[in-house]
């Protein structure tokens, strides 16, 4: 997994070594681009925080990673709104949050894969 934490300008943390993160570190979000329909398949190993601009309704498939992992995808809706997100049956829904397809809404999808089970939790204003 390529985790890019910038610690005081010292570069990236080696993902194969244990580190204790204190304060003053940053996480660089990985931009996934703009969705204009179809199916988006998350790849958790791309980064801890990922961003997606939503300009159409779409389907969110289960992660393609073979290993367990976590990623938070920050989905920013376009100004037209009225978008829907359909999660495939490969997800177990966690919590009571839902995707809000309204104009300019920012949704946070927390996706966790543990073995063969994928979990998704929606959190607004996280």
For the whole model, what pTM was predicted?
0.79
> What residues are paired with 59 via a beta bridge?
39, 86
Among 82, 56, 72, 65, which Cα is nearest to 111's?
A: 72
**Three-state secondary structure call for residue 34:** strand
For 44, phi and psi rounded to 5 degrees?
-60, -30
Residue 51 to residue 89: CA distance in whole angstroms: 23
How many CA atoms lie less than 13 Å away from 2 in the CB half-sphere? 7
Q: Tens-digit pLDDT profile for the chain (126 aa)?
A: 344 444 444 455 555 666 666 666 677 899 999 999 999 999 999 989 999 999 999 999 999 998 899 999 999 999 999 999 999 888 999 999 999 999 999 999 999 999 999 999 998 765
């Amino acid at each position: 997994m390529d985790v890019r934490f910038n610690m005081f300008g010292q570069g990236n943390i080696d993902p194969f070594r244990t580190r204790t993160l204190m304060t003053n570190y940053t996480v660089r979000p990985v931009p996934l681009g703009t969705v204009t329909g179809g199916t988006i398949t998350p790849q958790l190993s791309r980064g801890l925080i990922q961003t997606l601009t939503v300009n159409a309704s779409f389907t969110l498939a289960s992660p393609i990673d073979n290993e367990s992992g976590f990623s938070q995808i920050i989905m920013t809706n376009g100004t037209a709104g009225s978008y829907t997100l359909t999660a495939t049956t490969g997800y177990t829904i966690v919590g009571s949050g839902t995707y809000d397809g309204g104009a300019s809404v920012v949704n946070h999808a927390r996706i966790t894969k543990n073995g063969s089970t994928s979990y998704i939790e929606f959190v607004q204003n996280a």
